Amino acid sequence: MKIRLRFLQCTFIISLFNPVAAEEGMWIPLMMDEHIINEMQFMGCKLSAEEIFSLNQDCLADAVVIFGNGCTGEVISPEGLVLTNHHCGFRSIQSVSSVEHDYISNGYWAMSKEEELPIEGLTVTFLRHMENVTDRISGGLDPAMDDEERNRVIQKKILEVAGEISDENGSRAVVKPFFYGNEYYLFVYDVFRDIRLAGAPPNSIGNFGTEEDNWVWPRHTGDFAIFRIYAGKDNSPADYSPENIPYKPEKYFEISLAGLEEGDFAMVLGYPGRTEQYLYSGAIKTMVEISFPHAVNLRTIRLNIMKSYMKASDRVRIQYASKYDGISNYWKKWQGMIRGLDRIDAIDLKREKEEEFLRWMKADDIRILKYDWIMPEFRKLYAELDSFALVMEYLDEAAGGIELCNQMRTLSGMMSRGESVEHIAAQMETFYRNFYNPVDRNIFAAMMQAFHTEVPPEFHPDFLRAIYKKYRGDFSRCAEKIYKQSWLSEPEKAFRLLDVYGSDQAKGMKLLTGDPIFKCVDGFSQMFNKRISPEKNLLDQRLEKVYRAYLSALREMVPGHELFPDANFTMRFSYGKVEGFSPSDAVRYDYFTTMTGIMEKNATGEDYYAIGEKLKALYSSRDFGPYGIDGTMPVCFINSTHTTNGNSGSPVLDAEGRLIGIGFDRNWEGTISDVMYDRSICRNITADIRYVLFIIDKFAGAGHLLEEMDIIYK
C-alpha cells in the first residue's frame, strides 16, 4: 500500500506543482533564481536576472511605480513622465474637471510644463529596497502561544522593523506576510507627493466601449494617461510647490516600435493587488453560489439608479463618473468569474487536488502527525463561516454601498477624535463635491429593501426593524423622510453642524449622534459587533492557522521548486507569450486588434462606441505616422502573463526589456486567474504602445512629450 501511495505522491507533484506552467505565477523579484531566469531565457528573454531586478545596481524594476493607492505605472522619460491607465488616473482627471472644463469628455493635454495640472492627494511610490525578514518577525516564536498572542507578538515585531526605517520626508517601510505568514518581507518606499497631469485622451478613447467592453476581448481601448512627478530641488519627495522641479529618475523605460508577433516573449512588472490561488474548495463554492451572485445583484441596482441620473444631467455625470466605473468594474468581473469557474469545474478540480494532497500526506507517518488535521478543520470552519456569508455580503455591498452612511462613519470618527474644524471642513468639501442627494437617497431605499428581504431576520439591526414597522415596508418614503432630517444630506446643513462643533464639540457630537443616518450606521455596527464579530473573528483566526499549515505542507511537497505567493500589492514579475486563445468551441481570437475594429464598433451607433471626428479623419487618411504597420494602426494585444487588479498600468515588456504596451485588463473568461490560473484562456489585455504614441502625437499634437522619450524604431 505504501509503495502505491508513494507512486501517487510523485504523480501528484508532477501534475500539480512541478513544474509550474511558465505563464503562471506572480513572483517576488527576490525569487528570481536560476531555474526561473533559465526558463524565461528559454522562452526568448534576452535579459539577465540582475538587469530585471537588483538591490545593487540600476534595473528595470526601478522604473516601475505604485500609482496612487491601487495601480501601477512606469517612468518613461528622464524628466519624470509616468505612464499609467486612463482608468487609474480617472479620479484625478475628474478632480480637475468641471462642466466648463470637461476633461473627461474632451481630454487634456499640457503643451508645456507650466500647463501641467497639480492633482491634490495623488502620490507616486518607488520601491527602494526589499528584504526577507522572516527570522526577525516569526523566528523564535513559542509554539505554545495561542493564535491571539502569536498575532500580537508578530504585529509588535512588524511595527518595530518598519519603524526603524520610515521617516517624515517620504520614506515608508512596510512588512507584509507571504504564504499565509510562513514568510515575511520588508519593503522600503519613497513616496512622491507632487504629481501633475500632463496628458489624457478623451473618454471616447481612454474608456472606449465603457462597461460594455470591460473585461472583454477583442478590445479597442486607448487606456492610458500621462502624469509627471515633481520633486524638491534635491530630487527628493516634497509637498506641492511651484518651485519644485521635474523628478530625475534612476531608471526609465526605452520604448519599442519594432512591433510584435504571436509567440514573442512578454514580461510584466507591477503591483498585483490580491489573488487567492490556494483556497479550499469550500471557499470557492461559497464564492460562486452566495457571495458573487448577491454582490452582482446589489451592484446592478446601484448602477441602474446612478445611470438614470447621470443621463439626465452633465453635472451628475461628471460627479459620478469615477464612482460608476469603480462599481461596474467588479460587477462585471464577478460575473466573469462565476462563468469561468463553472466552465472549468473549479470546485471539482480543487477537490481533486485536495484528495491528492491527502494521499501525499498519508504516505508518510510524520506527515500524518503534522498535517492530518488540515482538511477536517477546513471542512468544519467553512461550514461555520457559511452561516455568515450572506449577511457579510449585504453589509459590504448594501449597507456599505450608501454614500451618506460612509460619510457618517468618517465624520463621526473625526469628531470623536476631536479633529480640527479646518481638517473636517476639507474632508467635507471633497465629499460634497461629488455627492448628489437624490442618487444616494434612492440607493438608500433600495439597499434597505434588499437587506430586509434577503438577509435572515436574526441579522436585522433594530434600526431596520423600527423603520420597516414605522413606514410599513415603504422604504422610499422612509428614505425621503430620513434624508430630509439628516444633518449630512445637504452640504449647507453639514457645515452648519460643523459650526456648532467648532463652538462646542460636545454639542456638535450630540447633534450628530441624534441624526437618523447615525442611528442607521450605529444599528448595523451594533448588530455586527454582537451577532457576527466575536464568533467570526475566532473562526478567521483559526482559518489563518490552517492555511499557514497548508501552505507549509504544499511547500514541503515540492522541495527545490518554490510555489509563488499570492499577490498582496507588492512588486511582482510575471512572464509569458504574446498569443491568442479559444474561449469556446469553434471560436478563436487573434492576439491583436486594430483601428478597423474601432470603426466597426462605432458603426453600430451605440453610445459607448461613439468617437470624435478627428479620430475618424485620422483613420480615413491613414495618417498613422511611424506607428502604423502595413496600412493599419495596432490598438491592443493580449499575452499570457499572469496578472490581476493592481497590475492596471503595468509595463508590458519585450525580450530586451523595452516597453511595448500598458496592461489594463483581463479577458472575461480569464478573470478566474485570481483563484485558478488556466493557461488556455487567461490573458492580459494590453494597450499597444504604438497606439498610445499615435494618440499623443497625431491626435493630441503633443509631440513635445515624445521628445522626452527614448523611442527605438527598429
Identify whether the C-beta of residue 238 lies closer than 8 Å to the C-beta of residue 232. Answer: yes
The grid coordinates of residue 97 equal 474637471
Judge whether 220 counts as a catalytic residue.
no
Q: What DSSP designation does 564 have?
A: P
Are 478 and 486 spatial neighbours (Cβ–Cβ below 8 Å)?
no
CA 680 to CA 685: how far, in whole Å?
15
**DSSP string for residues in 630-655:** TTB-EEEEEE-----TT-TT-EEE-T
Q: CA angle at residue 324 from 319 to 330, to 5 degrees?
A: 155
Name beta bridge partners: 25: none
Query: In a 3-state reduction of DSSP, which class is residue 238?
Result: coil
Are 579 and 639 in contact by the 8 Å Cβ rule? The answer is yes
In order, the DSSP letters of 425-473 are HHHHHHHHHT--HHHHHHHHHHHHHHHHHHS-GGG--HHHHHHHHHTTT
Amino acid type, 72 = T
Nearest-angstrom CA–CA distance, 204 and 200: 11
Distance CA 77, CA 322 (A): 28
As a whole number of angstroms, the distance between CA 423 and CA 319 comes to: 22
Active site residue 87: yes
Active site residue 223: yes
Contact 684, 288 (CB under 8 A): no
Chain position carrying cell 523564535: 140
Catalytic residue among 223, 264, 325, 515: 223
d(CA 511, CA 514): 5
Cα 544 to its chain centre, rounded Å, is 23
How buried is residue 662: exposed, middle or buried, by Cβ count under 10 Å (0-12/13-18/19+)?
Answer: buried
Grid coordinates of 625: 505616422
β-strands 711-712, 651-653 pairing: unpaired
Of these residues, 62, 77, 87, 281, which one is catalytic? 87
Domains of the chain by range and CATH? 1-123+193-267+564-714 (2.40.10.120), 281-551 (no CATH)
* DSSP at 708: T
**Helix, strand, or coil (residue 578):** strand
Q: C-alpha cell of 657? A: 526589456
**pLDDT-flagged residues of the chain (< 70):** 1-23, 166-170, 560-561
Judging by DSSP bridges, how do beta strands 108-109 and 194-200 pair with one another? antiparallel
The cell for 292 is 458573487
Task: Provide the 10 A C-beta neighbour count for residue 365.
Answer: 9
Please give the distance of CA 230 from its chain centroid, rounded to a whole number.
25
User: What length is written for the chain?
Assistant: 714
Q: Do the beta carbons of residue 8 and residue 363 sit within 8 Å?
A: yes
The position carrying cell 494617461 is 225
List the catalytic residue out of 77, 322, 574, 648: 648
**Cα angle vertex 152, ends 66, 278, to 5°?**
55
Q: Is 320 left (phi over 0), alpha (psi -120 to 50) or beta?
A: alpha
